[in-house]
Amino acid sequence: MQARRAARELALILFSQFDKKITQYNQTEFEDIILKSVRTLTNSSIEELKTSVGSINVMKEQVENYEADSPVNLERPLQAKNVPVALPMTSDLKKQLDELLGICEKVVLALEIAEMTALEYTGEVKNYVLQIASIYKENSGEIDSLIKKFAKGWDIERLVKIDKDILRIAIAELLYVDSVPVKVVIDEALELAKKYSTDDSASFINGILGKVVDEKKARDKEKA
């Protein structure tokens, strides 16, 4: 996981925990929330890994019991090792595989979170989170006005909170961080939407960010 990708995820968590106007927070409070977020994510990843290991052990036990209870093994001497037996019906096996895939997804997410927390302590991640938060704090009026302008038919106050925060982070980068390619910002915003919101949200966010990019180009052209 790249440092800035981890920073965007932490920024999203940071934004989700604001309980007052962004302008009322200072950098120390930002840092405190980031630290608490990292600790929460670390504890969450540990619990997910423990749950995943437990689920896999349960599945292994089910397979072993199925093998031991088969007629061919019940007839064998107690000291003899069980012999392999035919698998259950494909429908049962598919169900087990689906459960295992779900477990694997949780493990991958837990590992990503662990990597994110490790990256946070390098400083680069935390600094970029603070940069995004500070940019939004100083320019929240302009950024929210752009969301309101391009989210036609939507009241900004009624937008899904996580979608609004993803937009705020992405627009802050698009307008005020020159070192990040536009495509990367948009792609990362869409990944956050797919991961934490819905496919519909990703399409909605993509449309708004496209219009923000067009407006920025028009502004830059006027200044040139």
pLDDT on residue 170: 96
Residue pLDDT, tens place only, 41-57 = 777 777 777 777 787 78
pLDDT on residue 177: 93
Provide the CATH number for the domain around residue 175: 1.10.940.10
Sequence-separated (6 or more) residues with CB below 8 Å from residue 113: 41, 42, 44, 45
pLDDT on residue 154: 64
Note whether 125 and 10 are within 8 A (CB). Answer: yes
Distant-in-sequence contacts of 114-123, Cβ < 8 A, 24+ apart:
114/42, 114/45, 115/1, 115/6, 116/1, 116/6, 116/9, 116/10, 116/38, 116/41, 117/38, 117/41, 117/42, 117/45, 119/1, 119/3, 119/6, 120/6, 120/10, 120/34, 120/38, 122/3
Percent of the chain past pLDDT 70, that is, above it, reads: 88
- Among 117-121, 153-157, 201-205, top mean pLDDT goes to 201-205
Residue pLDDT, tens place only, 82-100 = 998 887 777 777 777 777 7
Residue pLDDT, tens place only, 154-191 = 666 667 889 999 999 999 999 999 888 999 999 999 99
pLDDT on residue 210: 94
Residue 126 CA to residue 131 CA, distance in Å, equals 9
pLDDT band at 118 (very low <50, low <70, confident <90, very high): low
Check pLDDT > 50 for residue 1: no
Q: Which domain holds residue 36?
A: 3-223
* Count of domains observed in the chain: 1
